[in-house]
């Protein structure tokens, strides 16, 4: 049995999405910058995709920008709004952001281009309003807080943070912009930018059953932002580079599918809760990482005492189950997950983490198979480590 429990890493492309993409490889292959028929046909596809996405975000189509990846979108959102300021700006972000936010901030800090405050979440992984408020300075220009965390699935109260910023901005000379990385949230949560009160929002194609190599950055009209890539002037000069039409079409189609699959979210949540309950019942000395309530419907993240996460992942893989771990050994950098450390988990314990991320196609049968296999793996690895 092959079971894919790593949907937070990437999802399969939905079959309906793929179908809509295919003609744009071999038949409708024009470059939207060309003024002839094939070019204009491709341009129309870009516009249609923007139209669909703008409805999903409740924004205008002109506020939707395509980039190559969520990493690029996050880089553009942060670097782009800082360019051209005549003072040293201050950014507020959190310790549990994706590397495509944290690493940009670290770079800007190192280069002396910005001051940065990294907010520590509470032990549930929630970033409190008060902790944001405390960090605000006169030169604060950007707050970037992710909507839902990729490792522990914690959902932040973006709406309340948005309201707070709006309130603060009334009396401020330097208005604060609010960016949220909604990559993990896209398939599951409300992304209405007006309700959330965000100025910038990042979505990724391949986390929402669309293709890889495409991302959306919503940029509210009127925001001063400079490009980070220069060239042919596509996307109103903000993102040069030939449009990746098949993927852009796929991005729109994936957004359409989210609507159609809304009913499945409740089912995924039930499967998640069943899995959590059974693991807590059947395996001793486990603890759930991240909030139980404010959590993505598809995310499960456990710590198992006396085992190391990478060896759990490898053992599961032998049984056909694909999952991931935040342990140092499972990472390229051989560092324990910064997210787990930020929620107060000790280095030794972050070692024993396992992330299961369910998807639209997950069945109860798959979960039951996993529940049958996992206890023996933990038992075996605890025997090897001598853990009693």
Among residues 208, 191, 235, 256, which one has the least CA distance to residue 57? 191
* 68 binding another protein? (CB under 8 A): no
Q: Three-state DSSP class for 287? A: strand
Q: How many residues bind another protein (CB under 8 A)?
A: 23
Cβ nearer to another protein, comparing 133 with 335: 335
Task: Single out the segment in contact with another protein by CB under 8 A; choices: 150-158, 171-179, 331-339, 361-369.
Answer: 331-339
* 136 binding another protein? (CB under 8 A): no
Among residues 45, 43, 56, which one has the least CA distance to residue 20? 45
Least distance from another protein to the Cβ atom of residue 81, Å: 36
Enter the tokens of residue 245.
């039409």
* 286 binding another protein? (CB under 8 A): no
Cβ nearer to another protein, comparing 281 with 333: 333
* 388 binding another protein? (CB under 8 A): no
Least distance from another protein to the Cβ atom of residue 334, Å: 5
Q: Three-state DSSP class for 129? A: helix
59 is catalytic: no
* 48 CB neighbour count, 10 Å cutoff: 15
Among residues 329, 375, 332, which one has the least CA distance to residue 348? 329
* 17 binding another protein? (CB under 8 A): no
Cβ nearer to another protein, comparing 129 with 384: 384
Enter the tokens of residue 70.
């969520």
* 310 binding another protein? (CB under 8 A): yes
Spatial contact of 108 and 80, defined as CB atoms under 8 Å apart: no
Spatial contact of 157 and 169, defined as CB atoms under 8 Å apart: no
- Work out which of 34, 190, 282, 347 binds another protein, going by CB under 8 A: 347
* 332 binding another protein? (CB under 8 A): yes
Between helices 70-82 and 99-110, what is the axis angle to 10°?
A: 30
* 387 binding another protein? (CB under 8 A): yes
- Work out which of 348, 363, 365, 376 binds another protein, going by CB under 8 A: 348
Least distance from another protein to the Cβ atom of residue 386, Å: 4
* 323 binding another protein? (CB under 8 A): no
Least distance from another protein to the Cβ atom of residue 283, Å: 17
- Work out which of 327, 353, 357, 362 binds another protein, going by CB under 8 A: 327
Cβ nearer to another protein, comparing 23 with 306: 306
Interstrand relation of 215-219 and 64-67 (parallel, antiparallel or unpaired): antiparallel
* 314 binding another protein? (CB under 8 A): yes
- Work out which of 1, 129, 285, 384 binds another protein, going by CB under 8 A: 384
Least distance from another protein to the Cβ atom of residue 381, Å: 8
Task: Single out the segment in contact with another protein by CB under 8 A; choices: 11-19, 103-111, 241-249, 327-335.
Answer: 327-335
Least distance from another protein to the Cβ atom of residue 335, Å: 8
- Work out which of 182, 330, 345, 354 binds another protein, going by CB under 8 A: 330
Exposure string over 155-191, b if 16+ CB within 10 A, otherwise e: bbbbeebbebbeebeeeeeeebbbbbbbbbbbbbbeb
Exposure string over 257-269, b if 16+ CB within 10 A, otherwise e: bbeebeebbeebb
Q: Three-state DSSP class for 209? A: coil
DSSP-derived secondary structure for 78-125 = HHHHHTT-SS--EEEEETTS-HHHHHHHHHHHHTTS-EEEEEPP-TTS
Task: Single out the segment in contact with another protein by CB under 8 A; choices: 197-205, 226-234, 244-252, 305-313.
Answer: 305-313
Rounded-to-integer distance, Cα 13 and Cα 387, Å: 42
Give the H/E segment covering residue 243: none
Catalytic residues: 329
Applying CB under 8 A, which residues contact another protein?
306-308, 310-311, 314-315, 318, 327-330, 332, 334, 336, 347-348, 351, 383-387
């Amino acid at each position: 049995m092959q079971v894919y429990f790593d949907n937070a890493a990437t999802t399969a492309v939905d079959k309906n999405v793929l179908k809509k993409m295919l003609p744009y490889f071999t038949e409708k292959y024009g470059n939207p910058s060309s003024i002839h028929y094939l070019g204009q046909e491709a341009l129309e596809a870009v516009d249609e995709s923007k139209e669909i996405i703008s409805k999903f975000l409740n924004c205008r189509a002109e506020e939707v920008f395509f980039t190559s990846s969520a990493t690029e979108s996050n880089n553009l959102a942060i670097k782009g709004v800082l360019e051209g300021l005549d003072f040293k700006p201050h950014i507020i972000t959190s310790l549990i952001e994706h590397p495509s936010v944290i690493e940009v901030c670290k770079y800007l800090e190192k280069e002396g281009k910005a001051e940065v405050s990294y907010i520590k979440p509470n032990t549930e992984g929630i970033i409190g309003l008060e902790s944001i408020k405390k960090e605000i300075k006169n030169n604060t220009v950007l707050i970037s807080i992710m909507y839902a965390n990729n490792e522990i699935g914690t959902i932040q109260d973006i709406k309340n943070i948005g309201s707070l910023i709006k309130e603060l901005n009334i009396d401020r000379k330097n208005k604060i912009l609010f960016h949220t990385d909604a990559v993990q949230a896209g398939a599951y949560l409300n992304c209405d930018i007006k309700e959330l009160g965000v100025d910038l929002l990042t979505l990724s194609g391949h986390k929402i059953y669309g293709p890889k190599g495409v991302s959306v950055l919503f940029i509210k009209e009127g925001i001063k932002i400079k490009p980070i890539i220069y060239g042919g002037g596509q996307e109103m000069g903000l993102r040069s580079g030939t449009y990746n039409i098949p993927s852009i079409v796929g991005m729109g189609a994936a957004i359409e599918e989210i609507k159609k699959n809304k009913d499945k979210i409740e089912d995924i949540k039930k499967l998640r809760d069943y899995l959590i309950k059974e693991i807590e019942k059947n395996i001793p000395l486990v603890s759930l990482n991240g909030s139980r309530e404010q959590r993505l419907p598809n995310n499960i993240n456990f710590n198992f005492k006396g085992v190391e996460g990478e060896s759990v992942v490898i053992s599961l893989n032998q049984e056909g189950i694909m999952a991931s771990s935040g342990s140092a050994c499972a990472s390229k950098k051989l560092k324990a997950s910064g997210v787990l450390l930020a929620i107060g988990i000790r280095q030794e314990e972050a070692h024993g983490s396992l992330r299961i991320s369910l998807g639209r196609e997950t069945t109860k049968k798959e979960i039951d198979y996993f529940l049958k296999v996992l206890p023996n793996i933990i038992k075996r690895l605890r025997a090897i480590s001598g853990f009693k």
